[in-house]
Structure 1
């Protein structure tokens, strides 16, 4: 047996210290978000097989790790590995792919390679009051995509200016790109989408060909006293068929009241390109002319990492040559982030 000596112990400490200086430990994190939901159609319910009635709903629960490794004073390697976790649907895989990439960062900004939220998705800012839930803006507006085989460039931050560019490699990504488009997305924003460092945010985004969509949107947010207001306007069309188009918008409001955060949101789309519209179109013999949604609800803070929430969402799809489709969605849930 090797006898431990003071010299050997000191050497071991030096090796450990050297390793620690060269390789920073990653940050491990998670987001567990489960709700009890009742829905008439199941169109917007997540983490199930489109079940109607009262169900347990998984709202983008995930675990992951991320970090950075210094290469020299001007350059570092950055990475992220994240998977979705589903515990509410016996017919679905327990794990699913989410943002997973590796790249480099420095004074030039950041460039990463892999699966990532598109720049167009990022152009929503902080408008969505019910993100990752069954009242997420994706139910009304298309383009909230996460795509693999992509290159993402993030601008270096200059004052309050932010920007992002996404390019998807067409030859390596059947179904996520379009032969008729250039398969990129971008956004520019100015201000603070969290409305903490500044009481305003404005931004714009454009996508061409990713998931067969060509669209642009404008985003604005403002904070008046404690009231946070937000709005998005978006014009969309199918890349391969410009006659298939829609215009839509979202307006939202948030107001803190003690441990409560009161929230409200309204959405409208004059077509069937959002999630609710597409599912309604597939479930009727008529033609979806427009979709409206309003949602009211709130969060109740339990701790820095946990809160309870609840909301009521109403969806209405006007159908030409068939009966209209409506859905009343009631949700109560618990979220914990670490």
Structure 2
């Protein structure tokens, strides 16, 4: 019993020390998000069930500080499945973005594991990120790449570019410095953001993806649009997504529609839907707490089965 009390006290002191370091030097900042939903899943094949889902809940540490006139920074983030009853950490904890880098007047460079410029280009256009209406279920290109090296230019009058390459490391015969590449160009002015990205061999040899994204804010309204084309050498697929959000006080009302056959030329096992329609309502309960509910209607690509997911959720950030 004394040992347990000592261990709890030691953990508490460690967290307090981390907070003090973060406040003084910004080298250690603990953060995270729990995104838990209770979902009613109705599948066209007759499999209907209730599920408790963790939706990419995560925790991490990050920091930044002076490194001889430029800024050094790092991120170490993990996904945790808070609804999983497994006792094995390998079953419910996995790595997310984990990088180290430098930034200054020259821009920013980092290396490690990170979302590609194409994935990051979506910004907040995807209103149902991490849920069943996530664009990753209808589009490829949603890649968190291992062994990635990325350079981002400084902001130049609204223009910014991100260039990333992934060494093959003798995977499938690829052993070059830049066997996979991902490039994104963005422009932001006032309430408008537009961008285009190009992936080559990020998801496998001969898989090329082009993505165009636009986001516009007008008072309480936010509009998003995304078009994507994917080729794998023999097949060509494309898709279109539109989203709209209206915010009134602590409430946000959301609509998102997807039509896509990008899955035909993609390689991800998660990509399977040709169409999705999602409706949602978010209610902020506090600065870091949000209650939400949503409904997603999906048509599966290969079988044309229609699936429905209705969920109630809570997001708690820290």
Same fold (TM over 0.5): yes
Number of aligned residue pairs: give it: 291
Return the TM-score normalized by structure 2: 0.83
Structure 1 residues 318 and 80: CA distance shift in structure 2, 3 A: closer
2:203 aligned with 1:206, yes or no? Answer: no
Partner of 1:298: 281
Could you tell me how far apart the structure 2 residues matched to 1:24 and 1:200 are? 32
Partner of 2:183: 186
Structure 1 residues 135 and 20: CA distance shift in structure 2, 3 A: closer
Match runs of 1:141-156 below 5 Å: 141-156=139-154
Partner of 2:95: 97
Partner of 1:135: 133
Could you tell me how far apart the structure 2 residues matched to 1:183 and 1:147 are? 10
Q: Which runs of 5+ in 2 are unaligned?
A: 1-20
Could you tell me how far apart the structure 1 residues matched to 2:130 and 2:265 are? 15
Match runs of 1:252-291 below 5 Å: 252-273=243-264, 291=274
Q: Which runs of 5+ in 1 are unaligned?
A: 1-18, 44-50, 193-197, 282-289
Aligned residue for 1:331, secondary structure, equals strand
Structure 1 residues 110 and 36: CA distance shift in structure 2, 3 A: same
Deviation >6 Å, runs of 4+? 19-22, 274-277
Partner of 2:304: 324
Q: CA deviation at 1:128?
A: 0.6
CA contact (8 A) 1:178 1:209 kept: no
Q: CA deviation at 1:280?
A: 8.4
CA contact (8 A) 2:101 2:108 kept: yes
Taking only aligned residues, the RMSD between alpha carbons, in angstroms, comes to: 3.0
Q: Which has the larger radius of gyration?
A: 1
CA contact (8 A) 1:178 1:211 kept: no
Could you tell me how far apart the structure 1 residues matched to 2:254 and 2:267 are? 21
2:40 aligned with 1:60, yes or no? Answer: no
Structure 1 residues 307 and 279: CA distance shift in structure 2, 3 A: closer
Could you tell me how far apart the structure 2 residues matched to 1:31 and 1:123 are? 21
Partner of 2:105: 107
Q: CA deviation at 1:188?
A: 1.1
Structure 1 residues 178 and 271: CA distance shift in structure 2, 3 A: farther
Partner of 2:65: 69
Structure 1 residues 108 and 95: CA distance shift in structure 2, 3 A: same
CA contact (8 A) 2:57 2:82 kept: no
Partner of 2:218: 224
Structure 1 residues 274 and 83: CA distance shift in structure 2, 3 A: farther
CA contact (8 A) 1:139 1:275 kept: no
